[in-house]
Amino acid sequence: MSNSSRYLSGGFAVWPNKSRLVEALHAAGLKVREGQHSIRVESCEHFVFQGLPDLPAIDADATSAAEMIADARRVSDALSAAQIPHRFEVYGPADELLECFQYQ
Residue 40 lies in a domain: yes
Residue 52 lies in a domain: yes
Residues 6+ apart with CB under 8 A from 2: 59, 60, 61
Residues 6+ apart with CB under 8 A from 46: 4, 59, 60, 61, 62, 71
Instruction: Provide the pLDDT for residue 25.
Output: 98
Instruction: Provide the pLDDT for residue 5.
Output: 78
**Are 35 and 53 spatial neighbours (Cβ–Cβ below 8 Å)?**
no
- Is residue 22 helix, strand or coil? helix
Range(s) of the domain holding residue 77: 6-103
Instruction: Provide the pLDDT for residue 69.
Output: 98
- Is residue 39 helix, strand or coil? strand
Please give the tally of structural domains in the chain. Answer: 1
- Provide the residue type at 101 as one letter: F
Residue 35 lies in a domain: yes
Residue 26 lies in a domain: yes
Residue 1 lies in a domain: no
pLDDT values of the chain reduced to their tens digit, one per residue, 104 residues: 445 579 999 999 999 999 999 999 999 999 999 999 999 999 999 999 999 999 999 999 999 999 999 999 999 999 999 999 999 999 999 999 999 999 99
